Amino acid sequence: MTAAPVSSTAALTARFDAHLMPNYGTPPIALVRGEGRRVWDADGTRYLDLVAGIAVSALGHAHPALVKAVSDQVATIAHTSNLYVHEREVELAERLTALLGSDGGDTRVFFANSGTEANEAALKLVRRAAGTGRPRVVSTVDGFHGRTSGALALTGKPAIRDPFGPFGLDVVFVPYGDADALRAAVDTTCAAVFVEPTQGEAGIVEAPEGYLRAVRSICDATGAAFVLDEIQSGIGRTGRWFAHQQAGVLPDVLTLAKGLGGGLPIGACIGFGRFATAFAKGDHGSTFGGNPVSCAAALAVLATIEADALLDAVTANGDLLARGIAAAGHPLVAGVRGTGLWRGIRLTAPEAPRVQAAAAAHGFLVNAVAPDVIRIAPPLTITPGEIGEFTAALPAILRDATDEETT
Ligand SMILES: *Cc1c(COP(=O)(O)O)cnc(C)c1O
């Protein structure tokens, strides 16, 4: 079953450092294979995966439905380009439209290959719809929308944004979750508001109750487009298909990626109402976007979430996870926030990297998303028993993380 690794972690990371750009630093672990919620590194160590490739591997690793869908599709036709239509992409657009509760009459989908590309499409779409009289876009402080120039211009994290400006886009940043600040910033010169339902990369930072409804009404009052970035929150992560369904609002434009392909690269920009048809022929495109293999993977993800009733499981297991974390009762834990299987463990000190390392030493992959926040975003298929393994080990992980600090 296990193919012999060709390189040890040390040997592989040395080659990585010699040949790949230093933008990721040196990854501490070399992963070789996965099965379900388990992954194995190049030295044969097994981990319980509570990161899922940053909220991507929704069905875990090597899920039979994903393997079959991708294998069958790649053996049938792997790529067509958008010069030709193929059934998987149409089926996926129909399926997403149905999940969004629309009758399809005023909903249209554009497929990209990643989250940032989905937001680039959204940015072009809202500017096309707005014409020239609305040069401004409003986004949120600490929000994350991607790394390409347009999406980066909308990203409110100075450390990753500032070295690359100016962007040639008039973006105003307002504090996240503050409806009054948003109301003050949005006027009729504003083409769009970009916002996440919960800020993922900021550390699973939730908005106050009613915030998305306020965004909706501010956009309605000014004619600005409401673009909701559900790249991290969408496709079941919160226990709903989409986080906005909990809030009871529909945006004008919705962007998706991460969990959609279950590990295959795909993004989607979905327009509602007048935004469904704001692109004219020739306005946008992608050679790989909506490729048959990624669409087949996404269809398998959606079918499995439905067939295995994973939305209910996400809610129940997410609650179990949050209770288990709270029960750790360690002074380093300030609390846990988030919804479903998308949780942030807030720490009382900026020790998240130490906690991440201590967790790995105990056989758990977790993510230090911020200096004082650990992100837990496991596959949606995680079991109560697996959650119990982690929450049982958490006190020892926290003890080791704080012990190391004093040595
Ligand atoms: C990850 C993420 C993106 C960027 O997606 P990529 O696929 O990395 O380009 C954009 N917005 C949000 C909210 C994300 O979490």
Q: Which of 41, 111, 252, 258 is catalytic?
A: 258
- Alpha carbon of 44 to ligand 1 centroid (Å): 31
Q: What is the pLDDT of residues 45-79, one digit of tens each?
A: 999 999 999 999 999 999 999 999 999 999 999 99
Q: Which of 49, 110, 111, 144 is catalytic?
A: 144
Sequence spans of domains, the chain: 8-62+309-406, 77-307
Nearest to 216 by CA among 178, 251, 172: 251
Nearest to 242 by CA among 332, 253, 19: 253
> Which strand ranges, in their side-by-side order, compose the sheet holding 225-229?
107-112, 267-272, 253-256, 225-229, 190-195, 136-140, 170-174
pLDDT computed for residue 291 by the predictor: 97
Give the residue-averaged pLDDT of 361-377: 98
pLDDT computed for residue 407 by the predictor: 46
Write the class of the CATH domain 77-307.
Answer: alpha beta
Q: Which of 41, 49, 142, 229 is catalytic?
A: 229
Asked about 229 being catalytic, the answer comes back as: yes
Write the class of the CATH domain 8-62+309-406.
Answer: alpha beta
- Alpha carbon of 144 to ligand 1 centroid (Å): 7
Residue 128, C-beta contacts closer than 8 angstroms, at least 6 positions apart:
278, 279, 280, 283
Ligand 1 pocket list (CB less than 6 A): 114-116, 119, 144-146, 196, 200-201, 229, 231-232, 257-258
Nearest to 230 by CA among 194, 202, 265: 194
Does 242 carry a binding-site annotation? Answer: no
Residue 86 to residue 68: CA distance in whole angstroms: 18
Does 120 carry a binding-site annotation? Answer: no
- Ligand 1 atom at minimal distance to the Cα of residue 232: 15
Residue 162 to residue 403: CA distance in whole angstroms: 36
- Ligand 1 atom at minimal distance to the Cα of residue 114: 7
Which amino acid is residue 382, in one-letter code? I
pLDDT computed for residue 403 by the predictor: 87
Whether 8-62+309-406 and 77-307 share one fold: the answer is no
Tell me: pLDDT of 226 over 80. Answer: yes
pLDDT over 70 percentage in the chain: 97
Residue 230 to residue 69: CA distance in whole angstroms: 24
Q: What is the pLDDT of residues 169-195, one digit of tens each?
A: 999 999 999 999 999 999 999 999 999
Residue 161 to residue 184: CA distance in whole angstroms: 24
- What stretches of 117-169 adopt beta strand conformation (E)? 136-140
Q: What's the mean pLDDT when you consider all of the chain? A: 96
